[in-house]
Amino acid sequence: MPIKQYLKKTKIWRSIFRHDFQDTPRTRLQRIFGNVFLHLHPVRIAQDALKVTYTWGLGGISFYLFLVLTVTGILLMFYYRPASTLAFQDIKDLTFAVTLGRLLRNMHRWAAHLMVVVVILHMVRVFLTGAYKPPREYNWVVGVLLLVMTLFLSYTGYLLPWDQLALWAVTVGAQMAANSPLVGNEGPFKLPFITTANDARFGLIGGTVIGDATLIRFYVLHCIAVPFVFSIFLCVHLWRVRKDSFSKQTGAKVDVWPHLVSREFLAALLVTVILFVWSLVMEAPLEAEANLNVTPNPSKAPWYFLGLQELLVYFDPWIAGVVLPTLIILGLLAIPYVDVNPKGVGYWARMRWKRVGSVPIWYAEERPFAVSVFMLGILLWFVLIFIGTYCRGPNWEWYWPWEAWSHRRISQLTLHNLPNVWGTVLLAGYGLLGVPFPKALRERLAAQAGPAAPADLSARLHGVLGLLMAVALFVPFLTDPALLEGLGRSRNAPVVSLLYELMRQAGPVLGYPVIASFIVLVGLVIGWVGGQCARFKDRMLDELGLIKYAIVISLFLMMMGVLAKIMLRLAFGIKYLISLPGFNFNI
Ligand code: HEM
């Protein structure tokens, strides 16, 4: 009897493999059922779900990268000791003395970066194919938590090489924790018992300065605690994909073995090859040993947090580092519960050109609001990351990517705060733009004064709001000649410079009326845009109900507010709208 035949008849073989390896429909099914790793799959799957262009394999690749990170991470742990006197040396040894150590380290590092990118792309795919809609809402929530943990895993790993890059990147993050409202020692509305020795930063870094306690804390978080929790959530995530059924259900059913399993295998092979080549040709960065006395300028956070660091230019640290990230996460979690549009599940959002007036816009036919807002958020995020990575040099000064950095360049930036009263008016006006007309009021008005009355009144109210906002924005410059001159001359606030030149050339007699008409024009534009959106707001209120509407509009106003604040700084040189230094509260 040939040895293979003999082996297959032994008790040991049969105890492991419950099925034959002949390719029959029955054994295909048995392979999926009888294998602990494969049985997360269903035995059959819709043919269209196999199309690479539906998922791009992004969820599977994220999972595979997590496996690569676990394996390379465990191997690194054989050599690495988390103590400030040893860590950097161990990394050097790994790079220069340990056989294949450099490749191992490079693979771990690049796989971590790749995983962050792939998980974000997976989220975008899930969003654009509407796969978060019922019954998959909960799995979207689990996914968001996985994304947060992926970022946290990467961040905690950043410190471990104990070089300058690591130390100062983590310092930026720790500083943000110190600025948390209530529980941060440098944040607003600090609770009375909060000190440097018990605030959020202390909790994160295990002391008042980054040192051995931080290293062991990050090591345990990075190697054990976070991967442990991550694995549990990952099991839930994959199990739910199975239980909720996959979002793509069209096409004939085909066997998962071999159709899906072979594709997964090929994707894993491709990722492995890419990682190998990447790790052979590109070194993971390693700077000089960590030194608390030598601060690099600029100190930059890991790239995926650079968007937040860039926001520090426009907002106080507690807003940029704590409030905005929290709201972003809450906003992502809320998406499946506030999006009540049942359309768009199981296929990519259908995009189409349309003319609004004479402006052609490219928009998603069935989910225009959801898709535009989500993609604008992602775009904004990556633009900020790009600016933080390539356009910021020493002292966080702006440099074009092709410009050489200079540590001697002196900033010419002149900024000022809007007087609190006007800032409050501007902010309140902006908030009021989100308020819709209650349905009952609209109906009463229409019954009393005709069907066009609600729209007319709404347009007029928006006009008043727009005017009020324009006045709040311009008047402080016109009532304070020193401010107009200082900021106007500095040339870093183009709109103020324009006002300044106008007043200089035309003199107050001509200048004021011209500017007044300009203010009215700006007010009318804001009012017109608001008025155009009014009908949309009212419809949204009717469809979503008050609570969901309030959540959606607040998150939307927050996102557009970030953009608006950036614009106000770039065009008007405004640093804060409201500034209460006594409370550490600047906005
Ligand atoms: C480490 C992170 C993650 C891993 C390993 C992972 C893994 C997977 C896998 C393997 C699938 C099956 C289909 C596919 O490949 O697309 C999947 C589907 C899904 N994932 Fe993730 N995922 C992760 C993060 C996320 C995130 C960040 C979100 C959303 C915020 C998310 C939401 C979903 C949803 C809703 C499905 C069902 C998709 C459908 O039925 O079309 N996942 N995930």
Whether 136 is in the pocket of ligand 1, judged by its Cβ within 6 Å, is yes
Mean pLDDT (the chain) is 91
One-letter amino acid for residue 18 of the chain: R
* 248-295 pLDDT per residue, tens: 988 899 999 889 999 999 999 999 999 999 999 999 999 999 998 888
8 A C-beta contact, residue 490 and residue 499: no
Confidence band of 1 (pLDDT split at 50, 70, 90)? low
Whole-structure pTM value: 0.92
Write out the H or E segment, with its range, that includes residue 556: helix 494-572
Best substitution site from 145, 235, 241 to test ligand 1's pocket, by max atoms within 8 Å of Cβ?
Answer: 241
**Which of 275, 266, 256 has the alpha carbon at shortest distance from 65?**
275
Whether 553 is in the pocket of ligand 1, judged by its Cβ within 6 Å, is no
* 391-441 pLDDT per residue, tens: 999 988 889 999 999 888 877 778 889 999 999 999 999 999 999 888 888
Q: How far is the CA of 143 from the centre of ligand 1 (A)?
A: 6
Report the alpha-carbon distance of residue 539 to residue 442 in Å, rounded.
12
8 A C-beta contact, residue 565 and residue 297: no
Best substitution site from 62, 70, 127, 347 to test ligand 1's pocket, by max atoms within 8 Å of Cβ?
Answer: 62
8 A C-beta contact, residue 488 and residue 572: no
pLDDT at 136: 97
CA-to-CA dists, residue 289 to 84, 107, 164, 168, 178, angstroms: 10, 21, 6, 11, 25
8 A C-beta contact, residue 289 and residue 88: yes
Burial code (b: 16+ CB inside 10 Å, e: under 16) for 119-149 equals: bbbbbebbbbbbbbbeebebbbbbbbbbbeb
The atom of ligand 1 lying closest to the CA of 139 is 35
Identify the DSSP state of 46.
E
Q: How far is the CA of 346 from the centre of ligand 1 (A)?
A: 14
Whether 144 is in the pocket of ligand 1, judged by its Cβ within 6 Å, is yes
Q: How far is the CA of 119 from the centre of ligand 1 (A)?
A: 8
pLDDT at 412: 72
Report the alpha-carbon distance of residue 283 to residue 165 in Å, rounded.
14
| Helix/strand/coil for 72 | helix
Q: How many CA atoms lie within 13 A of 572 on its CB side?
A: 21
Question: For the residues 527-548, what does the mean pLDDT come to?
Answer: 87
Tokens of 38: 């494969």
3-state secondary structure 323-366: HHHHHHHHHHHHHHHHCCCCCCCCCCCCEEEEEECCEEEEEECC
Nearest CA to ligand 1 atom 13: 59
**Which of 63, 37, 50 has the alpha carbon at shortest distance from 122?**
63
